[in-house]
Structure 1
Amino acid sequence: MIRFQSLFDFYIKSSIHVAFSVYALVRMTHFMFGLPYDEPMALFAFFGTIVGYNFVKYDALARAKKRMMRKELKLIALISFFSFLGVGFYFFKLQLVTQLMGVGVLILTMLYTLPFFPNRKNARNWAGVKIYIVALCWVGVTLLLPVVNAHLSLGTDFFIKCIQRFILIFNLILVFEIIDLANDDPHLKTVPQQIGVKQTKILGLLLLLPFYFLEFLKNNFVEKQLVVNLIMVVMLSLFIGFANQRRSKYYTSFWVESVPIIWWLLVVLL
């Protein structure tokens, strides 16, 4: 049991789970637009997520030479290295325009992590900005890049899906911010820090209304998608409603980050 627990923790800490969430959303984009499976795009997003998230989480620790890296961190670094090779391999299989946009997302990720300007903190520590940068990166990787790589026109349905995808990620991050409220630096000015936990939950629940009803405005309206989205609204409402600082770390790091995977599976199954 202890061995399984260690493996499970490593699976989460090494960002493999969140990478599967990104992969699921890319596959969902293919499904929604009736596109065939684009392996280079899906795996580029998967491996890129591992590299990006581990870079964000462990960059400062890796650069600090005050203590030796534990065995676990060395394994995470090894996985990140091979994922970096995977990113490079699939990057050159993408369309040129997708490559250019992918570089743009990379720059945004680096801006989020590294201080580009003298005497300024990185974007991760800019007051109130973190949630928007992360949500935009997810929308860019899981929706914009797959559509552009398939040479699809960016019509009304695409922009509606962008709004829905942004709301989904925004709400998932709100749950993280509620859980981490006690540990977050007050200068970050996260949403719960600015308006309180109760108002944050109300905001998240209100955002689920456009998330659901925007479906009716799509040109390619599919009734079954309403059922899937209703299940998603109920699930997200429960995650938001029951979020508090006493929740286990798995509440967000596993269950909340599983929401995109569940959404994709529901779309495929129904």
Structure 2
Amino acid sequence: MNSIVKALIYSNCWVAFCFSFLSYGFSNHFHIPHAEKYAIFLFFSAISAYQFHRYFTNKNQQTNRQNWVNKNKFWNNLVSIIGLLGLFTSFTFINWQDSSKVIIASNLLIVIFYVLPFPLFNKAFRSLPYLKTILISASWTSMLSLPFVNESREIPLFLIGFIVLQTIGQLIYFDCRDYQHDEKTLQTIPQLIGIKQSKVVAVVLFLLSVSLLQIGEKFSLLLLLIFLSNVSGLIIKKEQQDTAVAAFIWDLPFFIIGCSFLWY
């Protein structure tokens, strides 16, 4: 059982599921048609992006995640192949508008040049100072907005603000975890102000994000659950951050938020 859980988390299936379920919750709540198709497309998009980046990470990193990848190359490659096939197949199931294709193409460029040198800078985007968090948040926000754009629906401003604040807050989890491994030139939030101060910033971001939800949707007690799920990721001890349990907790808020939008 433990090996199955690790496989789901370390293969990026868990984070992709939470991300797609969040989109599914949004689409259902705001009565966007074809919610299932968009969720499936976003699931395979996330899987493909994460797996692509994995092939350009340091294979010698002594982390539980990298050790799992090194020991399970066949299964990791199989997930990559299934992810790509699923991405291409799910793409054909949706009638895309030109504006949506622009969003998808822009995100494809971000995914590629996040790890490969961009000709203009001769550096990957992730190596450019201050850009890592901004790009990831922008990418997640635009992809979650995709169903609204493609169905010619106006996405509520509070929802855009919520997604931006939520994603930046959750990225602080991973930046704190990678503090020792990241190049100092990246200038991530923990590198700029320290880990403890970064966690304070994350709490503020989460408070602001649930405040926007209260203003826009009035989820009442569910907001407390969302906030607690966010904050729980900040109290994981340093020696436990490189575990499957930590990764599960860090991605869990997306799933809980998706459930909240489905509930109301």
Query: Aligned-pair distance for 1:164?
Result: 0.4
**In 1: Cα distance, 2:232 partner to 2:82 partner:** 37
Q: Is the 8 A contact 1:91 1:99 kept in 2?
A: no
TM-score by length of 1: 0.84
The worse-fitting range, judged by mean Cα deviation, of 124-133 and 114-123 is 114-123
Q: Which of 230, 235, 238 pairs up with 2:232?
A: 238
**In 1: Cα distance, 2:57 partner to 2:213 partner:** 42
Letter in 1 for 2:189: V
Q: Do residues 193 (structure 1) and 200 (structure 2) align? A: no
Q: Which residue of structure 2 aligns with residue 35 of structure 1?
A: 32
**In 1: Cα distance, 2:214 partner to 2:260 partner:** 19
Q: Is the 8 A contact 2:170 2:250 kept in 1?
A: yes
**In 1: Cα distance, 2:71 partner to 2:233 partner:** 34
Q: Which residue of structure 2 aligns with residue 213 of structure 1?
A: 211
Q: Which residue of structure 1 aligns with residue 125 of structure 2?
A: 123
**In 2: Cα distance, 1:263 partner to 1:119 partner:** 37
- 1:185-216: CA deviation from partner (whole Å, max 9, x where unpaired): 22222111110112111111122232122235
Letter in 1 for 2:148: V
Q: Do residues 147 (structure 1) and 144 (structure 2) align? A: no
Alignment of 1:1-270 (within 5 A): 4-59=1-56, 72-94=72-94, 95-97=96-98, 98-117=100-119, 120-142=122-144, 144-154=145-155, 158-218=156-216, 222-223=217-218, 225-240=219-234, 242-248=235-241, 249-269=243-263
Letter in 1 for 2:35: D
Query: Aligned-pair distance for 1:39?
Result: 2.7
**In 1: Cα distance, 2:115 partner to 2:3 partner:** 28
Query: Aligned-pair distance for 1:28?
Result: 1.6
More relative contact order in 1 or in 2 (CA 8 Å, sep 6+)?
A: 2
- 1:1-57: CA deviation from partner (whole Å, max 9, x where unpaired): xxx333222222221111101111111211331224423211111111111101011
Paired residues in the alignment total: 252
Q: Is the 8 A contact 1:175 1:243 kept in 2?
A: no
Letter in 1 for 2:72: E
Query: Aligned-pair distance for 1:217?
Result: 4.3
Q: State the secondary structure of the residue aligned to 1:116.
A: coil
**In 2: Cα distance, 1:11 partner to 1:234 partner:** 24
Task: Give RMSD over aligned pairs.
Answer: 2.3
Q: Is the 8 A contact 2:24 2:258 kept in 1?
A: yes
Letter in 2 for 1:247: Q
Structure 1 residues 23 and 130: CA distance shift in structure 2, 3 A: same
**In 2: Cα distance, 1:238 partner to 1:14 partner:** 23
Q: State the secondary structure of the residue aligned to 1:246.
A: helix
Structure 1 residues 268 and 188: CA distance shift in structure 2, 3 A: same
Structure 1 residues 265 and 189: CA distance shift in structure 2, 3 A: same
TM-score by length of 2: 0.86
Q: Is the 8 A contact 1:212 1:233 kept in 2?
A: yes
**In 2: Cα distance, 1:213 partner to 1:70 partner:** 42
Structure 1 residues 32 and 104: CA distance shift in structure 2, 3 A: same
What 5-or-longer segments of structure 1 have no aligned partner?
63-68
Q: Which residue of structure 2 aligns with residue 65 of structure 1?
A: none
